Amino acid sequence: MKTIKVSFNINNEDVALDVRPYETLLETLRERLFLTGAKEACGLGACGACTVVVNGIPLRSCLVLTPEVEGATITTVEGLREDGKLHPLQETFMEKGAVQCGFCTSGMIMTAKALLDRKKKPTKKEIVTTISSNICRCTGYKKIVEAVEEAAKRMATA
Amino acid sequence: MKDDLNIVGKRVVRSDSLAKVTGEARYTADLTFPGMLVAKVLRSPYPHAKIVGIDVSKALKVPGVKAAVSGFDSYGVKWGVFRYTQDHAMLHTDKVRYIGEDVAAVAAVDEETAMEALSRIKVDYEPLPAVFDPFESMKDGAPQIHEQYKNNINIHINIDVGEVDRAMEKAYLVREDTFKAAGEAYAMMEPYAVVASFKNGYLDLYMPNAGPHVRAKALSNMLKLPLNRVRIRHINSGGAFGGRSEVAPGDLVASLLAIKSGRPVKLVLSREENATSSRQVHDIIATIKTGMKKDGTILAKDYKVIYDGGAYSSTGPIATSIPFYVYEECYRFPNVRYNGYRVFTNKGIRGMYGCHGRAFLAGNEAQMDVMAKELGLDPVDVRLKNGLKSGEMTATKSKITSCGLKETIMTASEKTNFRKRWAKPSRLKGVGMGCVAIMCGFPMGFRSGSSCYVKINDDGQVTLVTGLVDNGQGNESMVIQVASEVLGVPMADINLVNADTEVTNLDPGAYSQAAAFVGANAVRVACENAREKIVAIAAEKLKVKVKDVGLKDGSAYSLKNPDKKMPISWVVREAFFRGEPITGTGSFFPNIDFEREWVTRPWGQMAGTFSFGTSIAEVNIDGETGKITMPRFTSAHDCGRAINPMAVEGQMEGSIQQAGVAAITEGNLWDGGYLLNPNLLEYKVPLACDMPDMDTIIVSSRDPAGPFGAKEGGLTVRMNAYSAVACAVANATGELFSELPLTPDRVMKMLERKKGVKG
């Protein structure tokens, strides 16, 4: 089968791969790189469970073809820890009880991370609007919003 | 009961959350094994057809295909929760009964090969007339879906208490209404997935499930393997909500493919397959007749409820009963008649749902408000007057042993200024209240209880072994918290081995609201058993009386002189020297009347205890479009005692989303046997921007038998939130709803009806 060479930086590591032309980034992450934090829940971009940050932008990796991310810098939930220390969002999701079944959690955290990276002090409304791109079936979102608010505070004072 | 608890009742970080925020938590689709194959399923394109033949030989010739199976490769053993409901072989050889039904499957080296092979399977069908409406289905001459069920009536539940007809005659006010509701989608975020492997005659399975032991039993029956050769292992579950309670067709498909190929097989359903071919929720039509005295006392209830049961029995008798029971466990019905019919149609397989029964429950509550209004009464007073109290019996003879219903009604209504606002609703704004009770575990025979084994290791750390399962609600963390309290060992020092059928003992599973009351109770008993052994040795070593020994932070200490202490690890090592390691076993079996049977003897103690709850919704209606917005939602829940209040709040908030907001947005749409909205674009799961401000109130009734007084946490909201919404819309429009969800077009019709009455 014809393959395409693609290289990118993921979680601070350079990788070079031969992928199928129609391979999605989600498939590459999960099946080639064993980064299974991003989940497939809908396969058509409706739910956000597969969200990863590509060049600072939260993308649904089920809708991205891997050959498209040539040269990109990608962060997945597995790459959030720095020197073994949890990202503030990871801490606050735990502390605020924002995690139940956990299947949406990776995507939710990555969506929130992209928001906090581009906006230091988002309003509650901005947080609600932003995470409305992701579906959670368990929590009713209240504790997720609280977790993002708290993480924003911590990041502002850090 | 001592109340100086160290960890139970605290807002602790859940034990499972670290793995989930780092992406390390493993779910079934994340698993890979050497030589693992990909499975794909060929599904029926017909709602009803005779299978003339299935030929998989060409599929097997595709390079890379390692196995292909159909019903002809299985024993044809039919699954059913009860002996009299065994009608689902999972892979049938006689006919198909719904679009999307599993017909054949392949396992191949990759997905492309598997898809190619599927296209080579030849199935000869002879299409049969199909039926999609339960009323049509019950008519003489309708297509017969199963031979053994006359008029396609799968289950008829008949409950008759007191003298309903006479009581109706005596009633001051009688009202009869019919309410409909579309079935919802479970829409758990993780679509169905399974990994199966078969080695040396032993079958090994991973799949998200709500009860590994009952699942293993079903598969052992279908595959004619002894129970100890079917091992369901522990894995994280991406949500269940009732949709993973029973054995699934994919379980059998993946098992057969693993047995045939000798290699591990992974089957992951797409979101659409998950909607069409895993479990669905019943559509319900409920006719409710109520007789009330002038003072609002309910004299009689007469029910006829039709459940669109889809193609197979599933949990038939339970699904046909539960909406009634959660209501009769809440209110006093001196005379009540319930006729519930579960009717087969050519639609997908249907099971229980956390929010099961919204047409019935919301219908009852909304009708109660309309009757209260007609009698000039306040709905709060009517609920308080008819609500059951601790010590009372339900109509079908279940005793209520702890009850915070009144407190939930009072706190929720006071916090929302409910009485005043309900009496004088401003234009197109309304408030509504819904109440319900929930059985904490229902009768499942000898599977109704749970057991736990605990061992304290020589470093003082703890291993807990229990059949209890977690579908995301926090059951695992809950029992670690309970063990931490009893043993005085930090949660971080406790490891849980659970939901693995070859290691753990029977547990009722996480679908009958039994985990806190039954599962956590077994853990408490086992840990108390181990604690006694620790304390005996510590008392001897510290030279104090047994009653003066406390356990905290991994140490045993003298209560009178806390400086006098020793690490629990020393106690454990001493116990090893004595040849009596510190272990504990414990079981909890709830007080249930096991003569009770869903169809033939629908009375007797249903569960060990019941939880209670009240929800209040506040709605605004756009008179131009019929769109409902919900600025605030308040829920009060008597969960006995919250073991982890943060987790209970999370359950309540999730329920406001999945039952409350869903009453406006969610419903499966059908065109005959075609499900029109099987994906998450067209099926509207509420988003963050759809949510009201939520106020959750935990009421403690301290159940005498619950672990530290606990009962189930959160499900009442799942079964009363839609009632609150329906009542609020009735309050705002002056009209009863006729069908859920309350989409703008239906709300506009309600507004037009109201105008019509006025004009």
Query: Which residues of chain A lie closer than 8 angstroms to B16, CB-CB?
Result: 99, 102
* Predicted local distance difference test score (pLDDT) of residue B3: 67
The dihedrals phi and psi of B165, each to the nearest 5 degrees, come to: -65, -45
Q: Please list, in sequence order, all residues whose beta carbon lies within 8 angstroms of the beta carbon of residue B324, skipping any fewer than 6 positions away.
A: B157, B159, B303, B305, B338, B340, B360
Instruction: Give yes or no for a contact between B327 and B366, defined as CB atoms under 8 angstroms apart.
Output: no
Considering only CB atoms, A105 lies closest to which of B21, B187, B474, namely B21
Q: Do A140 and B23 touch (CB under 8 A)?
A: no
How many other β-carbons are positioned within 10 Å of the β-carbon of residue A71?
A: 9
Per the CB < 8 A criterion, the answer to whether B711 and B478 are in contact is: no
Average pLDDT, chain B: 97
Contact A140 B237 (CB under 8 A): no
Separation in Å, CA of A9 to nearest CA in chain B: 19
**pLDDT, tens digit, 9 for 90 and up, residues A27-47:** 999 999 999 999 999 999 999
SS3 for B297? coil
d(CA B2, CA B23): 40
Instruction: Give the distance, in angstroms, between the CA of residue A27 and the centroid of all CA atoms in the same chain.
Output: 15
Q: Per-residue confidence at B525, pLDDT binned at 50, 70, 90?
A: very high
- Strand residue runs (E) in B253-408: 265-268, 280-281, 283-292, 298-308, 335-343, 350-351
Burial class (CB in 10 A: 0-12, 13-18, 19+), B579: exposed
Contacts of B191 in chain A (CB under 8 A): 40-41
Per the CB < 8 A criterion, the answer to whether A97 and A144 are in contact is: no
Query: How confident is the model at residue B759, as a pLDDT?
Result: 40
The residues of chain B that CATH labels 3.90.1170.50 are 31-128+189-239+245-277
Question: Can you tell me the mean pLDDT for B347-362?
Answer: 97
Spatial contact of A48 and A107, defined as CB atoms under 8 Å apart? yes
Task: Determine if the peptide bond prior to B741 is cis (ω within 30°).
Answer: yes
- Count, residues in chain A: 158
Q: What is the pTM of this model?
A: 0.98
B17-24+449-588 maps to which CATH number? 3.30.365.10
Assembly ipTM: 0.99
How many angstroms from the chain centroid is the CA of residue B345? 23
Average pLDDT over residues B740-748: 98
Q: Are the beta carbons of B527 and B482 closer than 8 angstroms?
A: yes
Q: Tokens 């109290």 identify what position?
A: B389
Token code pair at residue A95: 């502390």
User: What is the average per-residue pLDDT within B721-730?
Assistant: 98
Distance from CA of A156 to the nearest CA of B (A): 21
**Cβ neighbour number for residue B234 with a 10 Å cutoff:** 20
A54, A72 contact by CB (below 8 A): yes
Compute how many other C-beta atoms are within 10 angstroms of the C-beta atom of residue B52: 10
Task: For B541-599, write each residue's pLDDT tens digit.
Answer: 999 999 999 999 999 999 999 999 999 999 999 999 999 999 999 999 999 999 999 99
* Per-residue pLDDT, B548: 98
Alpha-carbon distance of B615 to B409, in angstroms, equals 8
* Distance between CA atoms of residues A63 and A77, nearest Å: 18
Residue of B nearest to A52 (CA): B23
Q: What is the pLDDT of residues B637-671, one digit of tens each?
A: 999 999 999 999 999 999 999 999 999 999 999 99
Q: What's residue B142's pLDDT?
A: 98
Is residue B363 predicted with pLDDT exceeding 60? yes
How, if at all, do strands B102-108 and B153-161 pair?
A: unpaired
Region B28-34 average pLDDT: 98
Interface membership of B689 toward A (CB under 8 Å): yes
Both tokens assigned to B731? 């309050």
Which residues lie below 8 Å from residue B428, measured CB to CB, with a gap of 6+?
Answer: B620, B621, B622, B623, B732, B733
CATH 3.30.365.10, chain B: domain bounds: 17-24+449-588, 280-443+595-758
Encode pLDDT of A113-146 as tens digits: 999 999 999 999 999 999 999 999 999 999 999 9
For B653, name the nearest residue in chain A, comparing CA atoms only: A140
Q: Cα separations (Å) of B214 from B231, B500, B592?
A: 11, 12, 19
Query: Cα angle vertex B108, ends B103, B113, to 5°?
Result: 95
Q: Which CATH fold would you assign to the domain B31-128+189-239+245-277?
A: Aldehyde Oxidoreductase; domain 3 (3.90.1170)
Enter the tokens of residue A115. 């928001």
Domains of chain A and CATH, by start = 4-79 (3.10.20.30), 88-157 (1.10.150.120)
Between positions 636 and 655 of B, the ones with CB within 8 A of A are 646-647, 649-650, 652-655
Is B694 an interface residue toward A (CB < 8 Å)?
yes
Q: Is there a contact between B438 and B326 (Cβ–Cβ < 8 Å)?
A: yes
Q: Which of B650, B679, B680 sits opposite A97 (nearest CB)?
A: B650
Is the confidence at residue B321, as pLDDT, over 90?
Answer: yes
Give the whole-angstrom CA distance, residue B358 versus residue B180: 9
- Write the residue in B236, B239, B653 that is nearest to A142 by C-beta: B653
Q: What is the pLDDT of residue B757?
A: 57
pLDDT of res. B469: 98
Each residue's pLDDT tens digit, B160-184: 999 999 999 999 999 999 999 999 9
Residue whose entry in the numeric block shows the structure tokens 């005295």 = B293
Tell me the CATH number for domain B280-443+595-758.
3.30.365.10
Q: Which of B10, B11, B21 to mutate to test the interface with A (most CBs of A within 10 A)?
A: B21
The confidence score (pLDDT) of residue B1 equals: 43
Do the Cβ atoms of A105 and B657 come within 8 Å? no
Per-residue pLDDT at B100 exceeds 90: yes
Mean pLDDT along residues B204-223: 97
Structure confidence by residue, pLDDT tens digits, B246-273: 999 999 999 999 999 999 999 999 999 9
For range B277-299, the mean pLDDT: 98
**B230, B265, B725, B731 from B429: Cα distances, Å:** 56, 55, 12, 8
Share of residues in chain B with pLDDT > 70 (%): 99
Other beta carbons less than 10 A from residue B472's beta carbon? 30
- A110: nearest CA partner in chain B: B21
Which amino acid, one-letter code, is at B177? D
Residues 229-268 (B) with a CB less than 8 A from some CB of A = 236-239, 241, 268
Alpha-carbon span B649 to B698, nearest angstrom? 8
Q: Which residues of A touch B687 (CB under 8 A)?
A: 132, 135, 141
d(CA B68, CA B52): 18
* Averaged pLDDT for residues B303-326: 97
Mean pLDDT across the stretch B296-313? 98
Identity of the residue in A78, A102, A109 whose CB atom sits nearest the CB atom of B236: A102
**Taking CB atoms and an 8 Å limit, are B21 and A93 in contact across chains?**
yes
User: Measured between CB atoms, does B472 come within 8 Å of chain A?
Assistant: yes
Q: Is residue B116 within 8 angstroms of chain A, CB to CB?
A: no
User: B612 CB near a chain A CB, below 8 Å?
Assistant: no
Pairing relation of β-strands B462-466 and B494-498?
parallel
pLDDT in tens, A147-158: 999 999 999 987
Q: What residue in B sits closest to A45 (Cα-Cα)?
A: B681
Locate all alpha helices (DSSP H) within A10-138, ordered by sequence.
25-27, 88-95, 105-118, 124-131
User: What's the average model confidence in pLDDT over B70-88?
Assistant: 96
* Å between B276 CA and nearest CA of chain A: 14
Q: B11, A97: Cβ pair inside 8 Å? A: yes
The pLDDT > 90 percentage for chain B reads 98
